[in-house]
């Protein structure tokens, strides 16, 4: 059963605000020439979009109703699928950043997407990447 349109609209706005935060982070990475963070963020968004597009084309997931939208992934047009991808990207990035902020040890460290061991340009550590 779909949730109310006001609640769904509010959730969509929150998801898009979180996506804007992730895009802002991408711009900061680019301006600081921190390629590892920039490429990691871009790959994360395209992976989110690609997986949602794949899910939308499948009978298994594509027919499931999205409560905030009241429709299925299969019924979304390209622009709507991109917006859902941005929302998922924002929420996922927020949850990752929140988890990273709580774990100040290296227990959740991941290797860098790009192999760059130089720290002279303010490159971030592997634990800071998606």
Q: Is the pLDDT of residue 45 over 50?
A: yes
Strand runs (DSSP E) across 1-130, as ranges?
A: 65-66, 71-72
Would you call 3 exposed, middle or buried from its count of C-beta atoms within 10 A (0-12, 13-18, 19+)?
middle
Would you call 101 exposed, middle or buried from its count of C-beta atoms within 10 A (0-12, 13-18, 19+)?
exposed
Indicate the pLDDT class of residue 39, thresholds 50, 70 and 90: very high
Alpha-carbon Rg for the chain, nearest whole angstrom, is 17
Would you call 25 exposed, middle or buried from its count of C-beta atoms within 10 A (0-12, 13-18, 19+)?
middle
Close Cβ partners of 78 (under 8 Å, ≥ 6 residues apart): none
pTM: 0.68
CB 127, CB 37: distance < 8 Å? no
Residues 82-119: pLDDT tens digits?
Answer: 888 888 888 888 888 777 666 666 555 666 767 655 44
């Amino acid at each position: 059963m779909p949730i109310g349109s006001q609640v769904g609209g509010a959730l969509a706005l929150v998801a898009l605000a979180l996506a804007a935060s992730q895009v802002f982070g991408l711009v900061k990475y680019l301006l600081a020439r921190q390629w590892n963070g920039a490429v990691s963020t871009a790959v994360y968004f395209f992976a989110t979009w690609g997986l949602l597009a794949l899910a939308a084309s499948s009978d298994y997931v594509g027919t499931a109703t999205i409560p905030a939208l009241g429709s299925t992934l299969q019924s979304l047009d390209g622009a709507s699928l991109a917006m859902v991808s941005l929302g998922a990207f924002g929420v996922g990035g927020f949850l990752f950043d929140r988890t990273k902020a709580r774990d100040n040890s290296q227990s959740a460290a991941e290797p860098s997407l790009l192999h760059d061991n130089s720290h002279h340009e303010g490159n971030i550590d592997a634990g800071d990447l998606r």
